[in-house]
């Protein structure tokens, strides 16, 4: 039995709670270690990790790399359960709400139900006041009200900037390759660091040189339509960004670790006729 097979069997024997505890302990240990290093050493270590991992994965097929990625960076059982729960929770909540409404109305007579409905949803005086107030507002006031909505791009931007979300492991490795082979061209924006939010979507990497280009990283779990049916597909997201003049390349997480992605990005830049605006190494 190889070391890899032994690790897989050992990991499979752990409960979800034990896996989560070990992963958190490892993250804290790595974080404390890196805090002791100065920035130059950190960049050197990151470069060594990137090159070493690229060499390790160079001989793997796409399927082998995908399997390695899931074993190394995903708690398959926990994430799958979480995604399934998220996918079905909305339906369960709606079902409970419907049952609650049914019980609430069951004790009413037909006349009481009609009066309640008229008062709650079809009160002409309330509707008139709401419509009149909205119509009386200036375009500037309407825009200000919409911008203050929790669904606005500005609200998403504020929420991302104040959250503790950082780049995922695939995003870190892709970012190191972008900086090594396309120095100074791409900037990480997954936490809205560059202030770019488009229709409540926060692009992962954006071009720094003035060209409107985006690179998005998709995860096998969080962008799986079976678990997250409400998320935009690869084509839908590309189309959304194109409406705002942005070119977009979608990269799946297991592609972030190999060197082939560098050639793919270069080919994409050539296809989108932006190679003359981007300096590559």
More confident of the two residues 226 and 68? 226
More confident of the two residues 259 and 63? 259
Which of 4-13, 88-97, 126-135 has maximum average pLDDT? 4-13
pLDDT tens digits, 53-109? 666 666 677 777 777 666 665 554 555 555 555 544 555 656 666 677 777 767 777
Q: What is the pLDDT of residue 144?
A: 61
Domains and CATH numbers, the chain: 3-76 (no CATH), 78-136 (no CATH), 162-277 (3.40.960.10)
Angstrom distances, CA of residue 22 to CA of 2, 27, 34, 251: 22, 9, 18, 29
Is the pTM here over 0.75, yes or no? no
Whether 186 and 220 have beta carbons less than 8 Å apart is answered as no
Question: Which residue reads 């839908």 in tokens?
Answer: 236
Q: What is the pLDDT of residue 64?
A: 75
Give the distance between the most distant pair of CA atoms in the chain: 77
Q: How far apart are CA 281 and CA 272, in angstroms?
A: 18
Cβ-based neighbour number of residue 248 at 10 Å: 20
3-state percent helix, strand, coil for the chain, nearest multiple of 5: 65, 5, 30
Q: How far apart are CA 214 and CA 206, in angstroms?
A: 5
More confident of the two residues 149 and 21? 21
pLDDT tens digits, 183-224? 888 998 888 778 888 888 889 999 988 788 999 999 887 788
10 Å CB burial of residue 185 (0-12, 13-18, 19+) is buried
Q: Which of 6-15, 232-241, 248-257 comes out lowest in average pLDDT?
A: 6-15
Strands (DSSP E) contained in 71-212 are 186-188, 205-207
Crossing angle between the packed helical segments 16-35 and 76-106, to the nearest 10 degrees: 120
Question: Which residue reads 């935009």 in tokens?
Answer: 232
More confident of the two residues 167 and 16? 167
More confident of the two residues 6 and 178? 178
Q: How far apart are CA 235 and CA 248, in angstroms?
A: 10
Q: What is the pLDDT of residue 124?
A: 57
**Residue 34 clears pLDDT 80, i.e. is over it:** no
Q: Work out the average pLDDT over 145-168.
A: 58
Q: How far apart are CA 224 and CA 105, in angstroms?
A: 39
């Amino acid at each position: 039995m190889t070391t890899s097979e032994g690790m897989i069997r050992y990991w499979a024997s752990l409960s979800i709670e034990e896996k989560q505890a070990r992963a958190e302990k490892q993250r804290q240990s790595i974080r404390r270690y890196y805090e002791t290093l100065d920035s130059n050493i950190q960049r050197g270590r990151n470069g060594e990790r990137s090159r070493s991992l690229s060499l390790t994965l160079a001989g793997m097929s796409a399927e082998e790399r995908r399997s390695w990625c899931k074993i190394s960076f995903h708690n398959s059982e926990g994430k799958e359960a979480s995604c399934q729960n998220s996918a079905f929770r909305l339906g369960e909540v709606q079902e409970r709400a419907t049952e609650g409404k049914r019980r609430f109305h069951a004790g009413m007579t037909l006349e009481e139900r009609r009066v309640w409905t008229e008062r709650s949803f079809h009160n002409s005086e309330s509707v008139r006041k709401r419509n009149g107030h909205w119509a009386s507002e200036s375009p500037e006031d309407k825009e200000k009200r919409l911008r203050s909505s929790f669904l606005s791009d500005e609200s998403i931007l504020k929420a991302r900037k104040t959250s503790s979300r950082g780049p995922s492991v695939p995003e870190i490795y892709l970012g190191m390759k972008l900086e090594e082979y396309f120095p100074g061209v791409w900037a990480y924006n997954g936490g809205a660091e560059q202030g770019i939010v488009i229709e409540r979507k926060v692009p992962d990497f954006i071009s720094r040189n003035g060209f409107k280009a985006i690179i998005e990283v998709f995860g096998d779990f969080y962008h799986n339509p079976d678990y997250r049916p409400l998320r935009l597909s690869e084509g839908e997201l590309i189309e959304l960004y194109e409406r705002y003049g942005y070119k977009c390349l979608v990269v799946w997480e297991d592609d972030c670790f190999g060197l082939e992605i560098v050639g793919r990005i270069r080919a994409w830049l050539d296809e989108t006729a932006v190679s003359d605006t981007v300096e590559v190494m």
